[in-house]
Amino acid sequence: MSDGHQTISTAPDADGRRRVVIENVTPQIDCGRFPVKRVVGDVLVIEADAFIDGHDEIRVVLRTRVGQADAWHETEMEPLGNDHWRASVSLTELGRYEYSVAGWVDHWETWRHDLKKRIDAAGQDVTVDLRIGAALVEGAADRAIPADSSLLRAAASKLTAAQALGAELDALVEKYPDRSLETTLEQPLAVTVDPERARFSAWYELFPRSASADPERHGTFEDVIARLPYVEELGFDVLYMPPISPIGRQFRKGPNNEPSTDPTDPGVPWAIGGPEGGHSAVHPDLGSLADFRNLVDVARERGIEIALDIAFQASPDHPWVKEHPEWFRARPDGTIQYAENPPKKYQDIYPFDFESRDRRGLWDALAGVFRFWIGQSVRIFRVDNPHTKAFAFWEWAINDIKRDHPEVLFLAEAFTRPKVMYRLAKLGFSQSYTYFTWRNTAAELREYMTELTSAPVSEFFRPNFWPNTPDILHADLQAGGRAAFEARFVLAATLSANYGIYGPAYELMEHTPRDPGTEEYLDSEKYEQRTWDLDRPDSLRDLIARVNRARREHPALQSNERLWFHPIDNPNLLAYTKNSADRRDVILTIANLDFQAAQEGVLELELEVLGLPVDRPFEVVDLLAGTSTTWSGANVPVRMDPAERGAHLLWLRR
């Protein structure tokens, strides 16, 4: 079972009479250990191999239920040939579904098949065969409801070949099969059904303290409300804010991560907790809890969900440090171990000890943080560094919360080893940060996207592409100029159905590192309040709005399925299409990954695969420029000058 698709059937059969074999059920993750993921409205297609020794006919059904309800719904699986079967189920509710496959020997259909062959052979006496068939009909009568039982017994008493081979009796007998020796999966498989936003979303990150237009005044939730029309204009549907809790005072960091020497330094939002409270409190300079709830409500009225950052760590001033010292790791000198990533030291935060003797108390308190903010109408959480917390905690907490709130989504901010990132996704995280930021050549992007969009990864891992974050200013953005910002944005927003940017740093093309060779911003917002000129004439706001409008209007861009990379004879150019499920919507993206020089090449389009005409011209609409032209044939010359544009977004109209 090392391939992850082989499923054990039933427990060992003591007398060996369960003859149907069921295996290779898809989709499934790690032999059914974890659920696959879908969104509400999807149709889940299940396939399996099912076969038997000898030549008896078998019946195979898909069994589904919502949650762990007592009643299973069954759907006949369609034979596809070579002992392979398929069926599907529409996922109409949020939450967890279970599904299984069952199969049994269809003695009635086997008998009818053999009877027909004997009759077709002509001259064979089928008297005894009809007695065998009558016994099978009597058996069905024993299992039938009274009305049908009477009909079946009447048929059995005078069974003829014509009647046995007729459709009416066949349908009646098949309603009551003998399933006493059926085979089914030892354990059901599961699928988690999330809201549509789990698959398709556009995130915009801002620091609420920097939402003030006055550099002398700390931003508030009211300032964020005033910023909502701008976020809506850009086309984002998730507004993500770093932690809004009180910030610790001890070992507070100042500008550019230097030790604070000024009592007015605001500190790092991720140093959570102060005299005002901990994870369930609001920083007093931002406003009140009622002000926050108002922000959530006003944003939702505009079609924007507020995503809140949850960072499970504590400042030295967090109330839990005194109330629950057992939740932290003590050093031999009696002090509490602060966070480290040697040689880096983060004296302003204490990590929780997930090996604490009071593990249950810690787990309950941390899950309670999520539940508190869910009570404030928050439905999306970006979780900071989940890979530094216990896997078992995440599986328990996410499953427990989603049992009551299946609409809640969790984004894992885990830039770590691939297997760890994938494990977190399997444990329940709805979306995940990725290595997109560091996949910078055409070959790297093709390889990475092929991995992310292929099973089994695509069954559980939903990538969320970010070209920048408050922690990451990639070298391409430092040196690539406007073309780099344009290209990386278009790539993020079209390669992945979920993406985000840290703004306004992105649209205003903030590109200066704190130190050469690092990915830290100079004058980072993590350490100080910033004021942004959103009306700067060189802003990328128009490009961002156009791309997000295209994402909303074109179903092809709303999924990671049907991504197709097209050959182009220049390694600095990348070209790919996305299709809608009905192939009526085809979007072509072309990006120049050389941000300094113009590049040329010939693009090869597989027109038949794309559903485009091979023998006549077709229209090409430039979704960024608002113009259109006509192409003809599969080979298209391409020239891209970074001084003009970093990427093309084209609608290939049928």
Known catalytic residues are 384, 413
* 8 Å CB contact between 316 and 248: yes
CA distance linking residue 157 with residue 159, whole number of Å:
6
Could you please report the per-residue DSSP string of 288-339? -HHHHHHHHHHHHHTT-EEEEEE--EE-TT-HHHHH-GGGBPBPTTSPBPPE
Assess contact for 409 and 391: CB atoms under 8 A: no
**Residue positions counted in the chain:** 654
188 DSSP assignment: -
In 421-462, the DSSP E strands lie at 431-432
571 contacts: CB under 8 Å, gap ≥ 6: 441, 442, 443
Closest CA to 419 of 391, 440, 445: 391
Residues with Cβ < 8 Å from 40, sequence gap 6 or more? Answer: 91, 92, 93, 94, 193, 194, 195, 196
Strand 201-205 to 238-241 pairing: parallel
Residue 243 preceded by cis peptide, ω within 30: no
| Angle subtended by helix axes 221-234 and 289-301, to nearest 10 | 20
Question: How far lies 36's CA from each of 69, 103, 452, 458, in Å?
Answer: 19, 23, 14, 9
Phi, psi of 98 (to 5 degrees): -115, 150
H or E, element range at 602: strand 599-604
Q: What SS3 class is residue 416? A: coil
Return the closest-CA partner of residue 429 out of 407, 402, 410: 410
Find out whether the peptide bond into 266 is cis, omega within 30 degrees of 0.
no
Please list, in sequence order, all residues whose beta carbon lies within 8 angstroms of the beta carbon of residue 154, skipping any fewer than 6 positions away: none
Q: Tokens representing 11?
A: 């427990």
What is the number of alpha carbons within 13 Å of residue 233 lying toward its C-beta?
A: 11
Strands (E), 21-124: 21-26, 36-39, 43-51, 58-66, 73-76, 78-81, 84-90, 95-105
Give yes or no for a contact between 382 and 292, defined as CB atoms under 8 angstroms apart.
no
Give the integer Cα–Cα distance in Å for 524 and 471: 9
Strands 58-66 and 43-51: unpaired
Helix (H) or strand (E) holding 184: strand 183-184
Strand partners, 97: 66, 191
127-143 vs 146-157: helix crossing angle, rounded to 10: 170
Token pair recorded at residue 614 = 């091979």
Edge to edge, what strands does the sheet with 84-90 contain? 21-26, 43-51, 84-90, 78-81
600 burial via Cβ count (<10 Å: 0-12, 13-18, 19+):
middle
